Amino acid sequence: MDAHISPSTVSGTARAPPSKSYTHRAILAAGYSDEATVYDPLDSADPRATQRAVNAFGGDVTPVGDGNALAITGFDGTPYVPDDVIDCANSGTTMRLVTATAALGDGLTVLTGDDSLRSRPQGPLLNALSTLDVRAESTRSNGQAPLVVGGSLAGGTVSIPGDVSSQYISALLMAGAVTDEGIELELTTELKSAPYVDITLEVLEDFGVTAEPVGTSGTDGVRSAGADGFVIEGGQQYAPANGEYHVPGDFSSMSYLLAAGAVAAADGESVVVEGAQPSAQGDSAIVDVLDRMGADITWDRDAGTITVGAAPLSGTTVDVGNTPDLLPTIAVLGAVADGDTVIENCEHVRYKETDRVSAMATELETMGAAVTEEQATLTIHGGESTLEGASVEGYHDHRVIMSLSVAALAAAGSTTITGAEHVAVSFPDFFEVLSSLGAGVDRTE
């Protein structure tokens, strides 16, 4: 499907979807439990992959009510060996988190996914599990899926890099809680995307499980930042208070709506985004980024609402080491700002659904932006950029598609984005919400 977006002004109130990161972890945590109900989960392609995995391991995930909750009967810390291959589709979070779950089984689990997922690195997690005396192999011996994993993980001490994917750490922490010995993780490199580990720690705590960073940590309010490693004791029981868990709103998804308001709000009008309660999500940093760039933005934390209006934006420098998913949004903001926007520490953003650094550089240049791409830095020269409508590639990547949609609002002339159906990964009704705010959106098969 292609999305055709006309230059538009926007205003009104919208609600971002529930957090994908929290939804994944909550579904799996409920799977590790005896039973739990997860309220307000994100219903999209990626979390459905995690639901399928929980079912495959012997749990049962059933939608209840009007689809705003999942009643989950878990496998109580002891996953069954699946009857069939687990297809994680395009969900890297699912594959990494449940690879460690599979390691607990006394038989072998086979995990695979689509073309994109089968190209993403899993080697460090496989190596860590192998060190812990688990069979963990890539069938093609290249550190990529399909994977074969199993061997009754008992726990132990292991080293793992922190700069490839924080999901490796989250996977081991979640599984480590139900091992006999627990797991001690030593990081061999600096931890990137630390807020995502904080999300894991928060969900674990809400499910009655404790894990702790080791060493000096807690930089800039991020509990895991600067940690030398993590310790999680074994023999713990997943059990949320009152048997239920509520998923917060997703700041990664909010970033597109907030950016839309910042670059395209009608004169004297604003965009109000609901569901913005504070949480461990690092991507709430988008509020600070917009503020530093000069946007007219206020966050009522108690009410959970963020209000943003259009204002002249100025370039800034942003380190996305802890917030990789914000790179596409910030790149678009830089293209309409005055001066240079420098996105630093972004090499790990090349290992997402696609190489998002290269994708955003290429497509923004197609739309008329001046861009300098380096291995770990992306610079958008806003003062030299004039966005024009164009036909751009979505790379089957939900975050690239949504950020380019925001750029299209501020471009001169209509923009066509290919593969627009892939917003279903994290924000299924993105285009409906954008249209409800006044954007000119048309879709064709």
Instruction: Please indicate if the annotation marks 356 as binding a ligand.
Output: yes
How far apart, in Å, are the Cα atoms of 77 and each of 148, 178, 235, 326? 20, 6, 9, 34
Nearest Cα residue to 191 out of 160, 155, 156? 160
Instruction: Please indicate if the annotation marks 25 as binding a ligand.
Output: yes
Instruction: Please indicate if the annotation marks 192 as binding a ligand.
Output: no
How far apart, in Å, are the Cα atoms of 275 and each of 13, 172, 278, 291? 11, 30, 9, 19
Sequential DSSP letters for 355-407: -HHHHHHHHHHHTT-EEEE-SSEEEEEGGG---B--EE--TT-HHHHHHHHHH
Report the chain's C-alpha Rg in angstroms: 21
Q: Which two tokens stand for residue 343?
A: 């996105």
Q: Where does 175-304 show beta strands of DSSP type E?
A: 183-187, 211-214, 229-232, 244-246, 271-274, 296-300
- 187 in Cβ contact with 158 (< 8 Å): no
Helix (H, G, I), strand (E, B) or coil at 36: strand
Catalytic residues: 325
How far apart, in Å, are the Cα atoms of 80 and each of 103, 255, 326, 327? 11, 39, 37, 39
183-187/156-160 β-pairing: parallel
Instruction: Please indicate if the annotation marks 325 as binding a ligand.
Output: yes
Instruction: Please indicate if the annotation marks 120 as binding a ligand.
Output: yes
Q: Compute how many other C-beta atoms are within 10 angstroms of the C-beta atom of residue 407.
A: 32
Sequential DSSP letters for 168-193: HHHHHHHHHTTSSS-EEEEESSPPSS
φ, ψ (nearest 5 deg) of residue 278: -60, 145
Instruction: Please indicate if the annotation marks 281 as binding a ligand.
Output: no
Instruction: Please indicate if the annotation marks 193 as binding a ligand.
Output: yes
**Which residue reads 């009608």 in tokens?**
266
Instruction: Please indicate if the annotation marks 135 as binding a ligand.
Output: no
Q: Amino acid identity, residue 410?
A: A
Q: Amino acid identity, residue 397?
A: D
- 148 in Cβ contact with 137 (< 8 Å): yes
Instruction: Please indicate if the annotation marks 399 as binding a ligand.
Output: yes
Instruction: Please indicate if the annotation marks 144 as binding a ligand.
Output: no
**Which residue reads 């950029």 in tokens?**
385
Which residues are part of a known binding site for phosphoenolpyruvate?
20, 92, 120, 167, 356, 399
Annotated binding site: 20-21, 25, 92, 120, 165-167, 193, 325, 352, 356, 399
Known binding residues for 3-phosphoshikimate are 20-21, 25, 165-167, 193, 325, 352
